Amino acid sequence: MTLRYRLTALFVIVILLVSLMIGVFAVMTSGRHSRAELNQNLNDVAASAGAVPNRALANVLLTLERGDVNVAAFVLAPNTPTVTLHRSNPEPKDAPSYGSALAARNQIKTVPNEGGFAMRSLNVGGSSLLVLVIPTASVRAHAIRLAWEVGLFALLAASLGALAIQLLTKRDLKTVEELIAFTGDVADGKPVTMGGMEPQSSDVAALKVSLERVVHVLGDRLAAVEQTNQRMQRFVGDASHELRTPLTTIRGYAELLESPVDDETRRRAVDRIAQESRRMTALVEDLLLMAELGEPGQKRMDRVALSNLVVSTAETFALDHVKRRVSINVEANVEVLGHAKFVSRLLDNAFSNIARHTDERDAVTVTLARRGNQAILSIEDAGPGFPSYDDGPQRFRRFDDARSRETGGSGLGLSIMQDIATSMGGLLSVMPSELGGLKLEIAVPLLPSEQE
């Protein structure tokens, strides 16, 4: 079935349902109003009887004779024949029983065994009752007639709606066919244009605009890839410089050692060569770690006792930096899936950055807690923080370009931390700390057995 016929069928069904709902509401409302009007007529006749029982019969008969009210009147008493005072059209086959009349005293009741009649009784002296009966069959007949009219109207409206939808969607459906062809051309890499498409409805026009946006978004994605490549080139350049700098230093001091020098100069040269060698080794290890983290299909992850690792690393940091106030708030027995060596590296990088870029007296707060199905690790310091937190951690760049390579590294620290968090299915975020410096927040999933 084509889209046009599906839309037509749907439109017809909707029109029928709406029409029927409106019709049912109209029939019910009309029935309530008609029944209320009949009840009011019956109550008006009963009210004309007055407060004196001995004059009730005369007052009611006078009202029935003078007014155009279709009400039957009977007088009932125990062990006496029924007296008919006034007839209605139609009239009940039999007069109500004395027991049912007692139940309808001063209130409206349905006549038992007589569908289509309602009654109300009044005391007219002693044990005698004046029974007023009014026909209600006209209410049901009116409701049936109104239901037929509503049904015919619904069928007429559905037929007109089917014709209208055929006429109104012809142009839009042609545009949809052109859009399908357009998306095929985009997928095939052919030159595309939407200049000739003129949809009639706003929805199809919105679809056209959305497809145009998709094309622009694809272009933006390609631009983002290009930017990533540029950052990669920048990173490669920085890494090359980081490697070239210690190599140049090592080469210079090696040449110095080839010439006759005193013992003190020889000792300083050997120490500097060892220092630059360690620096170059650390950089190469960082590069290898990033490559390992980026490999698809990493080896199976294990249970990591995150609480124990955080407490151990934080306490070691506090012992090594006795001038700092280090607050440790760690929820016990928090476990995640990951690799212990990677988690340890993440924690080491975080505390190494604090030691490197903050004053030796700046406070540090470490917090670990469960939040929903995640473990949230926060590491805050009272240092200078970052100039800007808008972009978040980005690979291949330093957060603070003002930091030199001697103090700021090559921009790999946060990149490695982010890659470790990502490998565990988590996220690393940076933000200002309430202590005044930097806040690192690492959110990683809990073990499946601990999740809600």
Give the integer Cα–Cα distance in Å for 245 and 404: 13
pTM: 0.44
Q: What are 79-117's pLDDT values in tens digits? A: 888 888 888 888 888 888 888 888 888 888 888 877 788
**Are the C-beta atoms of 346 and 393 separated by less than 8 Å?**
no
Q: Which residues of the chain have pLDDT under 50?
A: 395-396, 399-400, 402-405, 407-408
pLDDT score for 329: 93
Rounded to whole angstroms, how far apart are CA atoms 247 and 244? 5
Hey, is 301 helix, strand or coil? coil
d(CA 235, CA 409): 12
Rounded Cα gap, residues 50 and 316, in angstroms: 101
